[in-house]
Each structure stands twice: as structure tokens, then as C-alpha cells.
């Protein structure tokens, strides 16, 4: 009997971590029999926590929303992450949440152990935010998208583009990403049959359809880097596709997230999709990887790489009487990738 309270807290913690728990799997995690699990579930119900049991092959246990907020059971890293997040939100890009964040932070820091409070203070002290003007997002929009990602439920909404044009979208949301003080959701667009990135502040009339979907393989392992590159590509003047003659893990150590998105071709080659406003910048960036490569597109980059290679070859060839060749000026300045 002395183990029952701690086991019930563990059960409550597990129910908070996933929407649905098959009974057999939940019993295995707790190290108890299905009968003991049923008794513990009944005890939670007696305490006012609405644990729903769904019979059948696809059934299981689920913690529903109720009149009582259950105690949140956090490990050390989760507690630090929430505290730092609340401090950031107190002056951040989520609309009408600053005061609420401060109140929640006061409650959390009151019960944080000293070792965790020092970690939070160190992170906050040595983190310098870059303040920029950014659109605010309604908290309910973020939570709706996050829950749809977690529960693998399709979302329907009206999307407003930069030019004000609107369209109806039905998507399978996968990841919520914060880039340059803006919130984005990486989704599979059912209408376009392709991956799309949407800004949450431009998503209107959000509706969770209740329809579940099967997980697809993400277009990249690093969702944040993929979203950042997608934003850059949508604004950049040139989009490049390059084959690099080296294993993907070797190339990954040499590039930055803003340099592009890598995909493996085989154990000796990989593909890079990159974008920038300048052909010169693209050629310079790719050339600095120190890896043999082939440019497939755009045609302007192929022509520029040929021109550049000839110029460099002439520069490396000795000759007493060579005329000076000046490359023609281009319309676009030499600059880095466009900001998202």
C-alpha cells in the first residue's frame, strides 16, 4: 500500500505525456497487472480526474479535460524549459500573455529547487535577446496548432498570404517552429500534395477536424532548419539545386542551417537545396565547402560558375602580358541569404 501514492502520481504523469495509452502498455510501464491498473484509474477518478477508458483494439486510457487541473509532474529539464519560456514570453511575441506569464512564473519559481533556479538564472543572464518588431500570435492559436501536431489531427483554416490573398487549407501539421520571432507550422498540405510552411499569425478560422492521420517521413531531420530555409527560399531571387560528392554526414558538418537543406542520394553523394539573392554568394558558399559538386539549377548559376572557374584558372596561370578582364556588373548586390 505504501507504493500506491507514488504509483498513482507516476500514472498521472504518463497520462499527461500522451493522448492515448493502451492498457497493456500502461500496465507494463508501471510494472503492475491490468487489474491493479484499473484500480489505480478508479482512484484517480475518485479524486476528480476524468480518465476515460475506450474498449477495443484501438482503445486505451485517456486523461480528459475536467474541472480540476491535475498536478503537473515535471523532470528537471522540463521545469527549466518552462521557467525560461515563461520569462521569454513575459516580453515576447505572443499577444496578451505577458501578465499571465509573470504570474505563472512567480508560482513556478516559488517551488523550484535551488539547483534548478540557478540554472534558470544562468540561462537568462547570459542570453541576449534581439528585439525586433514582430507580429503577435494569439495563445489559443498556438495551443490549437500544438495539440493538432501532438494528436496527429488534420487542421482546416483560412490562410492569408503576404499580398492579402486568402485561401482555404486542409493540412496535416507536424512541427511548430519559432524563427526570427515569428511562429510557423510545418505541414503536409493535402490540397497541394506537398510540404508547406505557414505563419501562424496568418492562419484564421482554425478548426481541428478530429480526423487523425498517419505520420509521414519529414522532409528533413532538422525541422527548424528546414523551415528557416523554406522562408529564405520563398524570398530569395535564386534557388539552387546542387549535387555534392561526399556523404551527407560529412557535408552536414561543414554547412550552416541557413546554407540550405541536405538530402542523401547514396552513401557517397547528397543533394543541397539553397537560395540567395546573389549568384556570387551562392557560388562562394558552395565553393567554400571544399567538396566536389555539380550545379543543376538555376541556369544563371551554372553559367556564373563556368565564368568564375575560367577567371580563376587565368588567375592561376602565369603570363607576362595578359589583359585585365573585368566581370560585368550584375543587378543584384553581393549579399547573404535573404532573411525569413
CA-to-CA distance for 306 and 302, rounded, in angstroms? 6
Condensed to tens digits (0 to 9), the pLDDT of residues 90-115 reads: 555 566 666 677 677 766 777 778 88
4 in Cβ contact with 40 (< 8 Å): yes
pLDDT at residue 331 is higher than 90: no
pLDDT for the residue 285? 86
pLDDT for the residue 1? 40
Helices 34-46 and 23-30, axial angle in degrees (round to 10): 90
All cell numbers assigned to 184 = 510557423
CA-to-CA distance for 258 and 274, rounded, in angstroms? 8
199's enclosing H/E stretch is strand 194-199
Condensed to tens digits (0 to 9), the pLDDT of residues 13-70 reads: 888 766 678 888 899 999 999 899 999 999 988 888 888 888 766 668 888 866 566 6
pTM: 0.49
pLDDT for the residue 337? 37
What φ, ψ does residue 58 adopt, rounded to 5°? Answer: -90, 10
Condensed to tens digits (0 to 9), the pLDDT of residues 254-313 reads: 887 677 778 889 989 999 888 777 888 889 889 888 899 999 989 999 999 999 999 888
Neighbour count for residue 21 (Cβ, 10 Å):
20
Condensed to tens digits (0 to 9), the pLDDT of residues 153-187 reads: 999 999 998 888 999 999 999 998 877 677 899 99
The one-character DSSP state at 91 is T
Q: What are the distances in angstroms from CA 190 to CA 8, 162, 184, 195?
A: 41, 21, 18, 9
186 in Cβ contact with 172 (< 8 Å): no
Helices 299-316 and 279-287, axial angle in degrees (round to 10): 60
DSSP 203-271: EEEEEEEEEE-PPPPPS-S-HHHHHHHHHHHHH-SEEEEEEESS-HHHHHTT--GGG-EEEE-SSS-EE
pLDDT band per the 50, 70, 90 thresholds, residue 338: very low
Q: If you search the block for the grid coordinates 512564473, which residue do you land on?
A: 105
pLDDT at residue 139 is higher than 80: no
Handedness of CA 18, 24, 27, 28 (dihedral sign): negative
Handedness of CA 276, 282, 288, 292 (dihedral sign): positive
CA-to-CA distance for 100 and 128, rounded, in angstroms? 23
Position with higher pLDDT, 237 vs 274: 274
Helices 114-125 and 76-89, axial angle in degrees (round to 10): 40
pLDDT band per the 50, 70, 90 thresholds, residue 189: very high
All cell numbers assigned to 199 = 505563419
All cell numbers assigned to 138 = 494569439
30 by DSSP, 3-state: which? helix
CA 63 to the chain's CA centroid:
26
Position with higher pLDDT, 238 vs 189: 189
pLDDT at residue 73 is higher than 80: no
Average pLDDT over residues 210-228: 84
pLDDT band per the 50, 70, 90 thresholds, residue 126: low
Q: Considering the chain, what percentage of its residues have pLDDT values greater than 70?
A: 76
Handedness of CA 222, 224, 228, 233 (dihedral sign): positive
Q: What are the distances in angstroms from CA 214 to CA 13, 152, 209, 222, 303?
A: 25, 7, 15, 20, 43
pLDDT for the residue 213? 94
Q: Is the bond into 298 cis (omega within 30 degrees of 0)?
A: yes
25's enclosing H/E stretch is helix 23-30
Amino acid at each position: 500500500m505504501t507504493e500506491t501514492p507514488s504509483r498513482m502520481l507516476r500514472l498521472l504523469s504518463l497520462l499527461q505525456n500522451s493522448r492515448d495509452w493502451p492498457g497493456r502498455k500502461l500496465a507494463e510501464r508501471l510494472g503492475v497487472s491490468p487489474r491493479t491498473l484499473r484500480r489505480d484509474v478508479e482512484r484517480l477518478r475518485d479524486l476528480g480526474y476524468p480518465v476515460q477508458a475506450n474498449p477495443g483494439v484501438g482503445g486505451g486510457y485517456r486523461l480528459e479535460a475536467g474541472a480540476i487541473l491535475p498536478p503537473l509532474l515535471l523532470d528537471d529539464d522540463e521545469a527549466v524549459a518552462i521557467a525560461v519560456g515563461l520569462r521569454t514570453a513575459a516580453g515576447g511575441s505572443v499577444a496578451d500573455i505577458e501578465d499571465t506569464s509573470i504570474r505563472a512564473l512567480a508560482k513556478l519559481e516559488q517551488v523550484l529547487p535551488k539547483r534548478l533556479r540557478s540554472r534558470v538564472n544562468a540561462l537568462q543572464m547570459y542570453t541576449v535577446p534581439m528585439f525586433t518588431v514582430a507580429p503577435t500570435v494569439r495563445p489559443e492559436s498556438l495551443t490549437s496548432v500544438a495539440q493538432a501536431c501532438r494528436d496527429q489531427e488534420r487542421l482546416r483554416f483560412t490562410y492569408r498570404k503576404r499580398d492579402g490573398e486568402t485561401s482555404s487549407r486542409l493540412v496535416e501539421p507536424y512541427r511548430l517552429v519559432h524563427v526570427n520571432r515569428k511562429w510557423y507550422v510545418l505541414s503536409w498540405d493535402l490540397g497541394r500534395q506537398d510540404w508547406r510552411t505557414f505563419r501562424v499569425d496568418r492562419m484564421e478560422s482554425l478548426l481541428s477536424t478530429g480526423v487523425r492521420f498517419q505520420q509521414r517521413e519529414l522532409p528533413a531531420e532538422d525541422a527548424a532548419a528546414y523551415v528557416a530555409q523554406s522562408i529564405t527560399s520563398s524570398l530569395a531571387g535564386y534557388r539552387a539545386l546542387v549535387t555534392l560528392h561526399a556523404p551527407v554526414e560529412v557535408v552536414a558538418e561543414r554547412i550552416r542551417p541557413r546554407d540550405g537543406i541536405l538530402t542523401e542520394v547514396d552513401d557517397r553523394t547528397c543533394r543541397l537545396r539553397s537560395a540567395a539573392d546573389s549568384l556570387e554568394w551562392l557560388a562562394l558558399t558552395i565553393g567554400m565547402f571544399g567538396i566536389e559538386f555539380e550545379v543543376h539549377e538555376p541556369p544563371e548559376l551554372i553559367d556564373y560558375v563556368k565564368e568564375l572557374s575560367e577567371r580563376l584558372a587565368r588567375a592561376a596561370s602565369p603570363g607576362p602580358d595578359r589583359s585585365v578582364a573585368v566581370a560585368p556588373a550584375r543587378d543584384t548586390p553581393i549579399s547573404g541569404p535573404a532573411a525569413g
